[in-house]
Amino acid sequence: MSYPTRFQQKSLWNAATGLSILILGALLVLLTWLVGAIFGFLQPVLIPLIVAGIIAYLLDPVVCFLEKRGLGRLWSVVTVFVVMLIGIAMLTAAVSAGIQRSRMALKESAALPVTTAAAAETNDSRQLAPALARALHDLHKRYPSGLLGWALTETTDGGLPLSDSEGAEAEAGSLEFFWRTNGGRLLNPYQGVITQTAWAWVTAGSSKVLGMLGLVIGMIMVPVYLFFFLKDSASIRDHWHDYVPLQASRFKTELVDTLQEINGYLIAFFRGQVLVALIDGILVGIGLEIYDLPYGFLIGIFMAILGVIPYVGSILCMVPACIIGYLHAQGLAPFGLSPWAYVGGVLAIFIGVQQINSLVTAPKIVGDSVGLHPLTVIFSMLFWSLVLGGFVGTLLAVPFTAAVKVLFRRFIWERQLRDGALEQLV
């Protein structure tokens, strides 16, 4: 009998296949973690570039239109920048006036006579520590035995219980007694761990502050990036394939065609989604202003900006709108509604605009430009925000998913269809 036998060969082959799949899976997880870490570290640099690239996608047709009317490329870009600056200045003036009116409205709703009950509640909230101390003493009196009674019993350093006159009753208004109880003495050795944890939080907060500072500095560079993107976009569009580091071959042609198709998805998505977000922002702003919500116009502007991110932008604007609505309705009771009923009206405005988005504007404007199911869009945002981290992943979720779809369609699904057709012919 020859060795290895057929059964042994099959077993070895299955083991090698399983080990290979396991190694590939581990490498994929490692690569995903590495890419996410790199993108998370480079977010202050990448976000301004991405924002400038998206704006360049939107403004490039305007620059090309002016160029066809006889202006040079440089002067077309300068003209677009001047118009943008004028528009931003006018918008800032309008927003400032709206904010001032909204602040006055909130002050009016907050300037209510303070009732006796409200004053007592406020006074109690300022005396939280004494009230908590008294509550702990009452618990100890009510349950002197058992685990709770033991934990709240004050003891000396030697572990002997203190009398009422020596201990709790002497400091009924202070929480300092807790560290002399059995429970406090158990927690006392972990004060170092608590301090280290607090210091770690402070350090993490400092690094986040520095990262935010880098992001702010990067956002200042957005106009510079945008200027050069618009100025050189025609040259990049016509000659970018020359910079692909591959020799002229069938593979390079296939790669260039794939990248061009992905770029088409990016252009279609961002141009369509920005128009949809603009419509949503206008509808939300008008609806909230009619509903007499303070800062309604400003919320509409943020909706027009953040609405580029499907679903997420609407939620990010809806939450502060509901909070402002609740605070506003506390005093003035607009339309005779209770605070929660008024918040329900704010929610109804956002839900109505979202329905218009889903049923009318998005299908008509964006249409099947990316061809993704809404559930796929939601899952892609969760996945890419986890992989790439935060804002970058959420912003690029739909384009990246569309790019993955292009790769699957060109190199897997179409190839399977071709192979199936050939088998049928044979």
Higher per-residue pLDDT: 6 or 319: 319
**Could you tell me the residue range of the domain that residue 425 belongs to?**
244-426
pLDDT at 157: 62
* Ranges 181-195, 251-265, 338-352: which has the least confidence: 181-195
The percent of residues above 70 in pLDDT, for the chain, comes to 69
CA distances from 257 to 241, 268, 398, 401, 407 (A): 10, 17, 20, 18, 11
Q: Look at residue 158 and tell me if it is in a domain.
A: no
Residue 228 lies in a domain: no
Give domain status of residue 86, yes or no: no
The pLDDT of residue 166 is 47
**Nearest Cα to 327, choosing from 305, 306, 346?**
346
Structure confidence at residue 352 (pLDDT):
92
Number of domains in the chain: 1
Is 226 among the domain residues? no
Q: Does residue 407 lie in a domain region?
A: yes
Residue 400 resides in a domain: yes
Residue 15 forms part of a structural domain: no
Residue 264 lies in a domain: yes
Question: Whole-angstrom Cα distance, residue 225 to residue 48?
Answer: 8
373 CB-near residues (< 8 Å, 6+ apart): none
Q: Among 89-103, 304-318, 353-367, 385-399, name the most confident range.
A: 304-318
